[in-house]
Amino acid sequence: MEVLTASFANTTASLPFNQYLSDFDFSQVSWLKVILTTLCLAMVYDQVSYQLSKGNIAGPTFKFYPFIGPFLESLDPKFEIYQAKWNSGPLSCVSIFHKFVVIASTRDLARKVLSSPKYVKPCVVDVAVKILRPSNWVFLDGKAHVDYRKSLNGLFTRQALEMYIPQQEKIYDKYLSKFVELSKDGPIPFFHDFREIMCAVSLKTFCGDYITDDQIRKIADDYYLITAALELVNFPIIIPYTKTWYGKKTADMVMKIFEGCAGKAKEHIKNGGEAICVMDAWVELMEEARKNKSDNPESKLLVREFSNKEISEAIFTFLFASQDASSAATCWLYQIVADRPDVVRKIHEEQLAVRGGDPNVPLSLDLIEKMTYTNMVVKETLRYRPPVIMVPYVAKQKVPLTESYSAPKGSMVIPTLYPALHDPEAYENPEEFIPERWVAGGAAEQAKKNWLVFGTGPHVCLGQQYVMLLFTGLIGKSVMFNHIKHKVTPLSEKIKVFATIFPQDDCILEFSKRDDPTVLDAVVAH
């Protein structure tokens, strides 16, 4: 055999390659057979690769649909399918378009992934880099990410949070009046209107008066295009007139507006203006860092000079991180409260008590911090219906998750937050809404490892205190000045997944003004 092989090699080597090709009879080749053979080999490789990656964790025995896996299911995600995955085992898997996905469902495994920057880094879909821009800070890793976050910490201090509240209250007043007008003829779905108020609150908090009402309305109307473009399963290439194309155009438009606002903030602070928004606070931090460095060359204040473009990209990530989650939380918060007259009564009593009986006392940080029961309602809502149910990461290297299983390099590793927040060992009767479980020193407060609403580890949410203050102030003021009636439907408690989770009927409500905010007259739940 070796002699024959050597003889063949010598013979072919002695022939000019072009002559060898010209003598080969391509007419004998069946291109259909070549294609089918290649396809079969690719399918076998895809299945074998899946089996090797899957190991001993839960998941389909084989990829029922070659290559695409459960892609079609992912186009219309069902909460029940996610739950089935979580219940199938501590670790489970799927494979879509040859992307292997490991789902970590227990509290401890979720925390392990969230706290392992050596092995994983946050990831979004392939087009996210193009939509958010490659230079965006969210794509930083390791020390670069830690240092950048330190530069942003000053935007969420107690002093900064208090600065934002007057702007936020103006938005509350404007939209609560709008909600009354919108539902004057009866209950309507409020899903889109809650997305708009949350967008408006965020934009005024971030940009203050540098952003116009028309710009806020435009961003609120179009933001869903960005959400759709960044769905977990999506086409990875930006093609004109597709979801990703519209999402990219919208993101570029929003960041252009933010760049202009950043320039105005710098000019405002330079001229001695008062800081009232995040951009103002950021510019003041840069001024302070510059002064400290001049007075003390050894100063370790990590705020450097940020360009308008960098500020716009970072502010966009704040909007990206908050918009869908806050919209979902608003839907559930209003629906849950409206369905429970006893909760309404307790909130109303507390709102009057902290204001000394005067409903017109404006919101302040001190005032909101006195709203103990209202805060417990917000916290229980975030536990009961957590807006973010999972966070995708990508494995930078092989990730040891258990003694017997490691997620392969390049796979997606997704810690799930929902099961930890519905763990009966941490929260008695977890499927019931019980604000009182959050009384200081209670069992729920003790279960700190289960409180994963805002994540944990190096990427824990910067704005968690901001979120609690915002929703406590908003729902408190809403209950004090308005009747909120919820029209219950068979879909009210069914969960729809669209980046976050929402009621399937889009939260059907009716708002009407109280004749006297100091009087809690009858509230009828439909």
pLDDT at 13: 46
pLDDT band at 526 (very low <50, low <70, confident <90, very high): very low
Spans of all domains in the chain: 129-513
Residue 296 confidence (pLDDT) above 80: no
**Predicted local distance difference test score (pLDDT) of residue 279:** 95
CATH class of the region 129-513 = mainly alpha
Report the candidate in 230, 160, 145 with the shortest Cα–Cα distance to residue 459. Answer: 145
pLDDT of residue 524: 43
Model confidence at 492, pLDDT cuts 50, 70, 90, reads: very high
Predicted confidence (pLDDT) per residue in 403-440, tens digit:
999 999 988 899 999 999 999 999 999 999 999 999 99
- Residue 334: CB atoms within 10 Å: 23
Q: Are strands 399-400 and 393-395 parallel, antiparallel or unpaired?
A: unpaired
pLDDT number for residue 246? 87
Q: Tell me 78's DSSP state.
A: B
pTM of the model: 0.85
Point out the annotated binding site.
461
Residue 14: per-residue pLDDT: 45
pLDDT, tens digit, 9 for 90 and up, residues 373-384: 999 999 999 999
Residue 419's pLDDT is 96
Angle separating helix axes 158-182 and 278-295, nearest 10 degrees: 170
Q: Sorting pLDDT into bands at 50, 70 and 90, what band is 103?
A: very high
Give φ, ψ of 92 to 5 degrees: -140, 175
Task: State phi, psi for 161 to the nearest 5 degrees.
Answer: -60, -40
Looking at residue 48, its pLDDT comes to: 75
Does the pLDDT value for residue 47 go beyond 70? yes
Q: Is the pLDDT of residue 1 over 50?
A: no
Residue ranges of the annotated binding site for heme are 461
| 299-341 tens-digit pLDDT | 444 556 789 999 999 899 888 878 889 999 999 999 999 999 9
Q: What is the DSSP string of 374-430?
A: HHHHHHHHHHHS-S--B--EEESS-EE-SSS-EEPTT-EEEEB-HHHHT-TTTSSST
Beta carbons within 8 Å of 362's beta carbon, 6+ residues apart: 166, 169
pLDDT in tens, 18-46: 555 555 555 566 777 778 877 787 777 77
CA distance 44 to 35: 14
Give the pLDDT score at 110.
96
pLDDT at 481 > cutoff 80 = yes
pLDDT score, position 121: 87
Instruction: Count CB-CB contacts under 10 A for residue 394.
Output: 18
User: What is the rounded CA–CA span in Å between residue 512 and residue 327?
Assistant: 21
Question: Does position 4 have pLDDT exceeding 80, yes or no?
Answer: no
